[in-house]
Structure 1
Amino acid sequence: MKSLLLTGLAWLLVLSGLAQTKTAKTMETEAVLKKKISLACKLTDKDQIKRMNELHQTLFKKVSRAVEHPNSYELVFKKSDNAIIGDLAEFIKFERLCCPWLVFHLTFQPEEGPISLEMGDSTETKEMVYLVMELDKLNKPAVR
């Protein structure tokens, strides 16, 4: 019985060590991607950067859900109004200046239905979108 407990304890230690290694590796990967993103950003005007950050704050509070796709993320906004439409257009304008390699799909559902913004077109750009847009701060994305 004692050897069984010791064996179980040994496995727990090994598994916790693996979990810590994976977490450290994930953090390292995120740090590398964030560095790539900051180097890739072409937006340099301080007023534009400030406005883009304001748009991030404003728009992300209005996201009703985030949908994870194999190569992109989709942000869905239930309330369709002129303010959201204008903010999304301005957001895309600034993001295209910052990240000219990023693909955007803006979809308007009929009859004042939801608006969705899909960003990314590859695994790497999807990871960058996740980090730049800080999607981890939104509700857990639904996988589709």
Structure 2
Amino acid sequence: MSEENISLACQIENLEQQRQRVAEVRAMFQQATQVEELPDGYAFSFPTEDLWARRLLEFILFEKICCPFFTFALIFAAQHGPLQLQLRGSAEVKDIIQAEFLASS
């Protein structure tokens, strides 16, 4: 399926569950140590601890099902540098990231 055929809608159908998920995700992303805007998305840096690696992997595994329009990259920097999660996609996807992940609660 090409990117232009992907629906830009969350697959969680229950509105209360959607609201709860957005709140959880915002709380997690507020803990990012750095946010970098990319041409097609954003890169979020997190501490290099294993706990964060697991949390981010769980985030990716959930989001790839409910929001299949994201492209994910989880980068483990050399020398125990920061853990970076990149969320990428179309211009519309970038707008969703800004609205849902960067907005204050």
Does the TM-score normalized on the shorter chain lie above 0.5? Answer: yes
Superposition TM-score tier, normalisation by shorter sequence: 0.7 to 0.9
Q: What is the percent sequence identity of the aligned residues?
A: 28
State how far apart, in whole Å, the 2-side matches of 1:51 and 1:81 are.
25
Matched-pair contact (CA < 8 Å) for 1:43–1:94: no
For 2:58, the aligned partner's letter is: E
Matched-pair contact (CA < 8 Å) for 1:43–1:97: no
| Structure 1 position 73 matched with structure 2 position 42 | yes
Deviation of 1:41 after TM superposition, in Å, equals 1.1
Return 5+ residue gaps in structure 1 as ranges.
1-35, 138-144
TM-score when normalising by structure 2:
0.75
RMSD value, Cα: 2.5
TM-score when normalising by structure 1:
0.57
Question: Relative to total residues, which structure has the larger strand share, 1 or 2?
Answer: 2
CA-to-partner distance for each residue in 1:45-86, whole Å, 9 max, x for gaps?
Answer: 79x768845742552242011111121111111x21111011
Larger Rg: 1
For 2:64, the aligned partner's letter is: R
In the alignment, which residue of structure 2 is the partner of 1:90? 58
Return 5+ residue gaps in structure 2 as ranges.
1-6
Secondary structure in structure 1 of the residue aligned to 2:78: coil
Question: Relative to total residues, which structure has the larger helix share, 1 or 2?
Answer: 1
Superposed, which structure 2 residues align to 1:40-59 within 5 Å? 40-44=9-13, 52-53=21-22, 55-59=24-28
